[in-house]
Amino acid sequence: DAGVIQSPRHEVTEMGQEVTLRCKPISGHNSLFWYRQTMMRGLELLIYFNNNVPIDDSGMPEDRFSAKMPNASFSTLKIQPSEPRDSAVYFCASSPGLTGELFFGEGSRLTVL
Amino acid sequence: GQQLNQSPQSMFIQEGEDVSMNCTSSSIFNTWLWYKQDPGEGPVLLIALYKAGELTSNGRLTAQFGITRKDSFLNISASIPSDVGIYFCAGHLSSSNTGKLIFGQGTTLQVKP
């Protein structure tokens, strides 16, 4: 069975450019999470959805970040405009319920120059 | 806010040695989970614990859910080189009616052959 699929795996962009990260959760999972990982701050929850509805976006750093989940099989995380401090690995994870058992994708490594 | 204190931050051990790491919290959790992250990959769930006092094994891994519900430990017996990675504890509060996890800062394990 396919796991959580993220794209792109790597992205290098220049400051000010728009970045869009994509995620396909595991089929049948009704919760989706976006995390950011850095050496300094570890794993930070940015936003999560339950049944395609955003439940908690308190972790989204600022208005430059936005996330959507138009249907049960697709989500995007957008950064516009990007800044060097946004450089990190962004993980998408999905969960079949509310047990806390998350299944992570392989991550999207973003470098903003 | 809720925080998890995970220790040690890093470990460098000889192959064949046993390893122990733990996590403490100022808050009570209903579920404790342990994840492992290999380099360049997303975290993968190792063990989930659902009851205070529960002791669960998964091969050479053993984890316990502390009786106070504020701590958990993970032991790895007879370490091997492929145990290298970052181990994260995570707590879940089911009464929040969400899948939101709080992650520890991680324990980086290096194994010398």
Q: Does residue B96 have a pLDDT over 60?
A: no
Quick: pLDDT tens for A46-72: 999 999 999 889 889 889 999 999 999
Q: Is B108 on the interface with A (CB under 8 A)?
A: no
The secondary structure of residue B51, as a DSSP letter, is S
Q: Which of B49, B62, B52 is nearest to B21 (CA)?
A: B62
Q: Which residue of B has its CA nearest to A30?
A: B99
Q: Is B1 on the interface with A (CB under 8 A)?
A: no
Q: Does residue B22 have a pLDDT over 90?
A: yes
Question: Would you put residue B98 in left (φ > 0), alpha (ψ -120 to 50) or beta?
Answer: beta
Q: Which residue of A has its CA nearest to B3?
A: A44
pLDDT of residue B95: 60
Name residue A4's amino acid.
V
Min Cα–Cα distance to chain A from B10, Å:
13
Quick: pLDDT tens for B37-59: 998 899 999 999 999 999 999 99
The pLDDT mean for chain A works out to 94
Name residue A40's amino acid.
M
pLDDT level of residue B107 (50, 70, 90 thresholds): very high
Residues of chain B in contact with residue A103, where contact means CB-CB under 8 angstroms, are 45
Question: Would you put residue B94 in left (φ > 0), alpha (ψ -120 to 50) or beta?
Answer: alpha
